[in-house]
A and B are shown apart, each in its own frame.
Chain A
Amino acid sequence: MNLDDLRKSWLQKSSALDGWQPVDRAALRAALEQRAARELRRLGPLASFELWVWAPCVLFFGWFCWTEPLAHLRLAGLAPLLWCIAMPLWSMAQRRALRALPLSLPVVELQQRIEALALRRLHAFKWAFLVGQVVWWVPSMMLFFRIVFGVDVVARAPYTLTLLGYSVAFSLLAVPVLALLERFAPASWRARTPLRQLAWALAGRDIRAARAFLAELQALEREGGQPATRRNSA
């Protein structure tokens, strides 16, 4: 069995499709139009999940910053407010960049661009997690005590700032520790999906996979002589 024989089999099978009835063009067009319109409605600049989560958060933290008289508590409300504004903006930019990619580019070029975008997204997730620890943990506690009990927890418990320090240190340590765990953990531990997913995401396993695919694409271009000529999309 060689490649030429396989090609003959392939072409024989292809000829079996010659008996297909013509496509119902009007129905196909109507179905695609309907589908595209639905997708446009569904894929706004933000996913509905994001709108439901971020909009109330922005309103809530905005209201808190506006009404809170104490400066350090306003600052504690400002951190998650900025985070809640920055994250959906970043998400929108990512989505727009992905949608702007012309699918008719030569395959290697487009796959490289998609993978580069994926790398950026994965880095963003990692940093969002790290910054999120600092932004959410202690400020949330301060805001909770202020809103529910009317208490300034920093004035009442000065060790809050120490707690903030520990929180930052924990965030910074989390990534190397998870990277080590992910690398040296026994196979049975790795098989546990939630742990593995979190460790993979934070330790950069996904990033490594994306990098490996990029490297593979670059190697593909290098092999066999001169780099391929880029052509404009059709």
Chain B
Amino acid sequence: MAEADPHAGFTVVVDEHRKLIYKLAYAYCDRREDRHELVQEILIQLWRAWPTFEGRSRASTWIYRIGLNVAISHVRAETRRLRDGRDTLPLEDLGLDLARADASFDSDSDDWLSLRRLIDSLDEMNRAIILLYLEGHSAEESGAILGLTATNITTRLSRIRAELQSRAQGGAA
């Protein structure tokens, strides 16, 4: 009897959630090269972890957890592993049009620059919280992904909101 394919369905899930993977990388990396490297790293870690995905949580929750864990570790690593050419995934050839995504996300409108500055000013964990908020997740959903209570998430978001407001007032003064 043939063995079950441990990676069956993986590419379907990645195809459905590739925007999420890109946005996650965008939240943690301002520079395009770093962002692409992070997208690649997340894809590889998702591939490795896929055989253990049992479907008890939603695929998006699973992707968020792995993606955020990889991103935080990636940002915290003092020295990045430099990949040689052979180890680079040809993301563009595979249909992940990152250049187009970059062109869209690296905008210089005022709103967008404010958002980028806000994201850059946050630590790793608050960055995760703001990303989940921007993506429209409730405090409960964010809490389940991060391992925090909904109250905690709401408290953190209020602080970020207050910080943004005080910055806007400071800018206006």
Known contacts: A226-B149, A228-B143. The answer to whether A17 contacts B53 by CB under 8 A is no
Q: In the complex the two chains form, is B149's CB within 8 Å of A225's CB?
A: yes
Interface residues of chain A: helix, strand, loop or mixed (majority): helix
- The distance in angstroms between the C-alpha atoms of A109 and B144, with both chains bound, is 11
Give the most central of B7, B109, B111, B151: most A CB within 10 Å: B111
Residue B38 is within 8 A (CB to CB) of chain A in the complex: no
Which of A35-43, A57-65, A84-92, A139-147 sits within the interface?
A: A35-43
Q: In the complex the two chains form, is B65's CB within 8 Å of A9's CB?
A: no
Q: Shortest Cβ distance from A46 into chain B, in angstroms?
A: 17
Residue A156 is within 8 A (CB to CB) of chain B in the complex: no
Residue B68 is within 8 A (CB to CB) of chain A in the complex: yes
Contacts of A27 in B (CB 8 A): 93-95
Q: In the complex the two chains form, is A24's CB within 8 Å of B160's CB?
A: no
Interface residues of chain B: helix, strand, loop or mixed (majority): helix
Query: Which single member of B104, B146, B155 contacts A223 (CB below 8 Å)?
Result: B155
Contacts of A22 in B (CB 8 A): 15, 95
Residue A102 is within 8 A (CB to CB) of chain B in the complex: yes
B residues with a Cβ closer than 8 A to A are: 7, 10-12, 14-15, 18-19, 22-23, 43-45, 47-49, 52-57, 61-62, 65-66, 68-70, 72-73, 76, 86-87, 89-90, 93-97, 100-101, 104-105, 107, 109-112, 114-115, 118, 123-125, 128, 133-136, 143-149, 151-157, 160-161, 164-165, 168
